[in-house]
Amino acid sequence: MPSARHGKICNWIGFYLTQYIVANDIGHILTNDSLFVIERDPDTVRGPDVCFVSYARQPKGTLPEGLLEVVPELVFEVRSPSDRWTAVLEKVLEYLAAGVLVVVVLDLKTESASVFRGEDRQDIIAAGEPLSFPDVLPGFSVLVEKLFA
């Protein structure tokens, strides 16, 4: 179950992403487990902690009340100490297979970010290092430790 710290980290992610998105007017930032369909027959839905969906995938304007039929380009998941890495990695692979370009897993215990870009590429970003996604959000950068403040 997510803790208060989990919620605060999600807030910081949303804060930094929203600043960038407002300045560049390129998409939507969604939080609080907004549900997306990532697979059909059988239907699978996921609700990331925080995500970015560009206007190219979901046009500007009011979002639908129900499930989104598009997948985000960028997904953040905050891993709580009770979350097993095998379950987290399974979710990461589902996101990538569905078309998410970048999945970031923030680890509360190590205060680091694992960045997944494709099934065979993972980067670990530690305190003092910038977290950036030039292929998705050109010019966006935030120091990892700011997300754990």
pLDDT digits (tens, 9 = 90+) for 109-137: 999 999 999 867 889 999 999 999 999 99
pLDDT value at residue 125:
96
Q: List the domain range (segments joined by +) for residue 98.
A: 4-147
CA–CA gap between residue 135 and residue 137 (Å, rounded) = 6
Tokens in use for 102?
């970048």
Please give the Cα distance from 29 to 21 (Å, whole number).
8
Closest by Cα among 67, 57, 55 to 25 = 55
pLDDT band at 92 (very low <50, low <70, confident <90, very high): very high
What pLDDT score does 149 carry?
86
36 contacts 70 by C-beta, under 8 angstroms:
yes
Could you give the CA distance from residue 21 to residue 73 in angstroms, rounded to a whole number?
13
Residue that the structure tokens 């919620």 belong to? 7
pLDDT tens-digit profile of 25-81? 999 999 987 888 888 888 889 999 999 999 999 999 989 888 888 999 999 999 987
Provide the pLDDT for residue 120: 75
Between strands 27-31 and 50-54, the pairing is: antiparallel
Residue 92 belongs to domain with CATH number: 3.90.1570.10
pLDDT higher than threshold 90 for residue 1: no
